Amino acid sequence: MRTIKRDEKGRVIEIVEINEPEKTIEEYMRIAEEEQRKYDIAEKLHRATVALEKMSNLQTVQPISFDPTKIKQKMLVPAGQSAIVYEYVLKKSMVALIDMIGCTWYPQTFYYFYVDNSLKEKVARIIGDLKNPIGRPFQLSRPIMVTRRITWKAVNNDVKDHEFEVLCDGRIYLKSDLQFLDGLQVYGHGKY
């Protein structure tokens, strides 16, 4: 092995030859194992740092509640007619995650449930507790993401007028905060 000595201006002043004894295969294996151990520790440290950063980001993302005056909406729909019973419009900078739904239902009636102006489902049943669907709504295992609006349109094909009631609740975030919700399972959108 050669060692080069330089002065303060970087000029070579001496070249020294150092003769090292030959290493055995075992020594090279020990060195390689030590280097691998150092790499493994560095990789674990990196993963832990990334996880801590994500956790601190999640703590800083504060959801906004749905407007309490708009969580539950109801309307009397005359026999043979239809009407929008529930509508929630988001600001352009916001995204909602619906995690609770409840609705009343009557024979010969149904709802069209729209998310962002696309039909999500035709609903012909009670959602939530059978005796109190609005007081005890259904808790979704995966939230439904909304970027523009939520609409429930009731269709009353019965011969009697009915009061339809819908509840949608969840959390609202700034669109810019979505990047910090890494790994969140959202219905119809996969992982975020």
Q: Rounded to 5, what percent of the chain is helix, strand, coil? A: 20, 45, 35
Report pLDDT digits (tens) over 88-114: 999 998 999 999 999 999 999 999 999
The confidence band for 191, taking pLDDT boundaries of 50, 70 and 90, is: very low
Whole-number pLDDT of residue 9 = 78
Q: What is the pTM of this model?
A: 0.65
Closest CA to 150 of 85, 69, 106, 63: 85
Count CA atoms within 13 Å of residue 28 on its CB side.
5
Q: Is the dihedral of CA 48, 53, 55, 56 positive or negative?
A: positive
pLDDT at 57 over 60: no
* Pairwise CA distance, residues 83 & 86, whole Å: 9
pLDDT higher than 70, residue 179 = no
Distance from C-alpha of 3 to C-alpha of 14, rounded to nearest angstrom: 8
When pLDDT is cut at 50, 70 and 90, the band that residue 190 belongs to is: very low
Alpha-carbon gap, residue 7 to 148, rounded angstroms = 69
Q: Residue 17 — very low, low, confident or very high, per pLDDT cuts 50/70/90?
A: low
Cα distances (angstroms) measured from residue 169 to each of 46, 79, 89, 112: 38, 28, 13, 18
Q: Tell me the pLDDT tens digit for each residue of 114-166.
A: 999 999 999 999 999 999 999 999 999 999 999 999 999 999 999 999 999 99
Q: Is the pLDDT score of 5 beyond 60? A: yes
Alpha-carbon distance of 163 to 181, in angstroms, equals: 38
- The full set of domains in the chain, from first to last, is 2-60 (no CATH), 64-191 (2.60.120)
| Residue-level pLDDT at 181 | 62
The answer to whether 58 touches 180, Cβ cutoff 8 Å, is yes
Give me the percent of the chain exceeding a pLDDT of 70.
82
Tell me how far apart the alpha carbons of residues 135 and 20 are, in angstroms, rounded to a whole number. Answer: 82
138 versus 62: which is more confidently predicted? 138
